[in-house]
């Protein structure tokens, strides 16, 4: 049957409406299961129509709420629903107060790090690309908090948050942004290529979805070496459309590889909204069905929710050696990169503001911890001040560090050239052996 293509109108006003935030969270409300915490712990095998941890509100309520929001502001934000108590999930119930405060510290460190970087980028002191993760911090921090010491993670170019969350130092990361020789990639990688295999972090990749087969390789190695771990490969909502991701899903299912693909659905790939880039608009994770891969969706704004769902997915991957796709709704506050000249054209300021005020993962977590009385406002301010000071010191370090030497330009291109090891000569690499 012929399909009518409706192109976005040229009128700015209408265009803003057309490209408004996609309805990913609606997916989460699609099939509510009565006991989310348990459901999160035990995903239903080969029953992709059941989401792991849907938001609580019945479909009707969520839809009417979204409608109301659209009619008054012209923007679509995630449906606000009564949140389920993910704090009782097996992955959260035994968390110690110090761990919870630690998550807050990590999220604040990422945010302050990036704000420092933005300052110097805008002054022209820092160059290259700068893809900020502001607004998505809970996803990286939640993931790192679930890693068991044998899990491996890999992501795309929006990689600062994951790097700091796994324990990379602010100095080496900031110096990398300044292109200095003291940077984690010796100043030759920049923002998109943070890398720390010793911390089970495999970067930092600029080719959209290029990390998805590499992540599969990590999962293959984990299985081959009989390691009690899993691989987690992050990708964006845009990357899902790359053919290689489909190849990965097929191979992951065929070989029962222990990998969780986490789609960080922030609603946009560069300036293209999800509704303009995906024929399957309701859910990206649902595509996994075509490959007999388990899938689920969850909100990524609340750390408890993220940990409950991702924790279950990772545990399943480790225990059963099975792949899974988890789509997480999230939002980025800045443009695609700081150099994104169209940053203000494809979404309205009201939309961004709404996410900042209602869905900010740091604010949500702070409020949660205040409610639980595991932290005071004064302690939060102290942690934040420390994060700001650390980021400022890291910037100083980066600025005052030396440039890479001219001779080093030919180093770190081919592992085989730099390392005359057997692995280097045979091509049989397993992690950093």
Ligand X SMILES: Cc1ncc(C[n+]2csc(CCOP(=O)(O)OP(=O)(O)O)c2C)c(N)n1
> What is the binding site for Mg ion (CB under 5 A)?
236-237, 266, 269
Three-state SS for 81? coil
Q: Is the distance from CB of 202 to CB of 222 less than 8 angstroms?
A: no
Residue 264 or 315 with smaller CB distance to Mg ion: 264
Residue 120 or 295 with smaller CB distance to Mg ion: 295
Q: Which does 44 bind (CB under 5 to 8 A by kind): ligand X, Mg ion, none?
A: none
For residues 353 and 117, what is the distance between their CA atoms, to the nearest angstrom? 22
Residue 158 or 318 with smaller CB distance to ligand X: 158
Percent helix / strand / coil, the chain, rounded to 5:
50, 10, 45
Residue 238's CB is within 10 A of a number of other CB atoms, namely 22
Helix (H) or strand (E) holding 179: none
Residue 236 or 398 with smaller CB distance to ligand X: 236
Q: Which does 239 bind (CB under 5 to 8 A by kind): ligand X, Mg ion, none?
A: ligand X
Can you tell me which residue has the tokens 């408890």? Answer: 304
CA angle at residue 432 from 429 to 433, to 5 degrees?
A: 65
- Closest approach of Cβ 39 to ligand X, in Å? 27
Residue 100 or 193 with smaller CB distance to ligand X: 193
- Closest approach of Cβ 245 to ligand X, in Å? 10
DSSP class of residue 78 equals: P
Q: Is the distance from CB of 151 to CB of 314 less than 8 angstroms?
A: yes
Residue 86 or 245 with smaller CB distance to ligand X: 245
- Closest approach of Cβ 353 to ligand X, in Å? 19
Q: Is the distance from CB of 173 to CB of 164 less than 8 angstroms?
A: yes
Q: Which does 336 bind (CB under 5 to 8 A by kind): Mg ion, ligand X, none?
A: ligand X
CA angle at residue 395 from 392 to 397, to 5 degrees?
A: 115
For residues 120 and 191, what is the distance between their CA atoms, to the nearest angstrom? 13
Residue 184 or 235 with smaller CB distance to Mg ion: 235
Beta strands in 133-201 (DSSP E): 152-154
Q: Among candidates 163, 148, 229, which has minimal Cα distance to 194?
A: 163
- Closest approach of Cβ 262 to ligand X, in Å? 12
- Closest approach of Cβ 351 to ligand X, in Å? 15
Q: Which does 185 bind (CB under 5 to 8 A by kind): Mg ion, ligand X, none?
A: none
Residue 49's CB is within 10 A of a number of other CB atoms, namely 10
- Closest approach of Cβ 273 to Mg ion, in Å? 9
Q: Which does 327 bind (CB under 5 to 8 A by kind): ligand X, Mg ion, none?
A: none
Q: Which does 142 bind (CB under 5 to 8 A by kind): Mg ion, ligand X, none?
A: none
Q: Which does 166 bind (CB under 5 to 8 A by kind): Mg ion, ligand X, none?
A: none
| Site residues for ligand X per CB under 6 A | 158, 206-208, 236-239, 266, 268-270, 336
Strand partners, 273: 268
- Closest approach of Cβ 10 to Mg ion, in Å? 24
């Amino acid at each position: 049957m012929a399909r009518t293509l409706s192109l976005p109108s040229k009128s700015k006003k209408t265009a803003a409406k057309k490209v408004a935030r996609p309805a990913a969270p609606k997916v989460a409300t699609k099939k509510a299961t009565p006991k989310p915490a348990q459901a999160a712990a035990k995903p239903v095998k080969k029953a992709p129509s059941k989401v792991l941890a849907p938001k609580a509100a019945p479909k009707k309520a969520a839809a009417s709420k979204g409608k109301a929001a659209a009619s008054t502001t012209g923007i679509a934000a995630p449906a606000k629903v009564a949140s389920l108590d993910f704090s009782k999930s097996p992955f959260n119930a035994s968390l110690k107060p110090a761990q919870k405060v630690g998550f807050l510290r990590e999220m604040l460190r990422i945010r302050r790090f990036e704000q420092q970087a933005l300052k110097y980028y805008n002054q022209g002191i820092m160059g290259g690309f700068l893809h900020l993760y502001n607004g998505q911090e809970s996803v990286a921090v939640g993931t790192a908090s679930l890693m068991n010491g044998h899990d491996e993670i890999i992501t795309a170019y929006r990689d600062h948050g994951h790097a700091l969350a796994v324990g990379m130092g602010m100095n080496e990361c900031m110096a990398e942004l300044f292109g200095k020789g003291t940077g984690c990639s010796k100043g030759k990688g920049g923002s998109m290529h943070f890398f720390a295999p010793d911390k089970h972090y495999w970067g930092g990749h600029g080719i959209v979805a290029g990390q998805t087969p590499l992540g599969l390789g990590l999962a293959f190695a984990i299985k081959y070496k009989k390691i009690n771990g899993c691989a987690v490969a992050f990708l964006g909502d845009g990357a899902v459309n790359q053919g290689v991701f489909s190849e990965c899903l097929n191979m992951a299912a065929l070989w029962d590889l222990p990998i969780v693909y986490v789609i960080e659905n922030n609603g946009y790939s560069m300036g293209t909204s999800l509704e303009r880039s995906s024929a399957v608009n309701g859910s990206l994770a649902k595509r996994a069905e075509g490959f007999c891969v388990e899938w689920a969706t969850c909100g990524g704004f609340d750390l408890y929710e993220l940990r409950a769902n991702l924790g279950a997915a990772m545990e399943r991957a480790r225990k059963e050696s099975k792949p899974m796709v988890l789509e997480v709704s999230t939002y980025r506050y800045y443009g695609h990169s700081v150099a994104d000249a169209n940053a203000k054209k494809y979404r309205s300021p009201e939309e961004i503001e709404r996410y900042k005020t209602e869905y900010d993962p740091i604010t949500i977590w702070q409020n949660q911890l205040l409610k639980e009385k595991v932290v005071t406002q004064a302690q939060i301010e102290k942690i934040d001040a420390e994060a700001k000071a650390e980021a400022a010191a890291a910037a100083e370090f980066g600025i005052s560090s030396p440039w890479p030497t001219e001779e080093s330009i030919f180093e770190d291109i081919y592992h085989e050239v730099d390392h005359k090891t057997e692995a280097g000569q045979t091509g049989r690499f397993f992690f950093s052996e």
